Amino acid sequence: MSGGFNFCFRLRYILSKPERHDVIAIRLAGDKVILLKRVVALEGDVVEIQNGTLFVNEKKIDETYVRYPSDWNLSPRKVDKNHVYVIGDNRSVPIHIHQFGQASIDRIIGAPLW
């Protein structure tokens, strides 16, 4: 949802690192736009998407939180040190429109308060 508003717990990742499946508030680019994304892979992991199915380290990941299946394809890529790989749960848009990818943990603002 564009233009939505969420409260964010900024201290969540001060003493801990994000874990796989966490939903985070992150600045993927610039300083003004904060997006909610799901952490799907951690540093050193290899991420791949085949016909909409997510694989991490060649293991199929059951993503019960994804409501709309996609036909995305993404070649394998390794997550760099001090980075996470993030993807939004709404995958009904074409892959080239969706904002996702590898991001430095320094770009994480916190965790949304639900």
Model pLDDT for residues 68-88, shown as the tens digit of each residue: 889 999 999 999 999 999 999
Domain with 56, as residue range(s), is 7-113
5 pLDDT band, cuts 50/70/90, is: low
CA distances from 84 to 5, 44, 78, 92, 109 (A): 23, 9, 10, 22, 13
- pLDDT at 28 (0 to 100): 80
* Residue 2, in any domain of the structure: no
Q: Is the pLDDT of residue 6 over 80?
A: no
pTM of the full structure: 0.88
- pLDDT at 93 (0 to 100): 86
Whole-number Å distance between alpha carbons of 53 and 74? 10
How many separate domains does the chain show? Answer: 1
- pLDDT at 1 (0 to 100): 43
* Residue 1, in any domain of the structure: no
CATH number at residue 93: 2.10.109.10
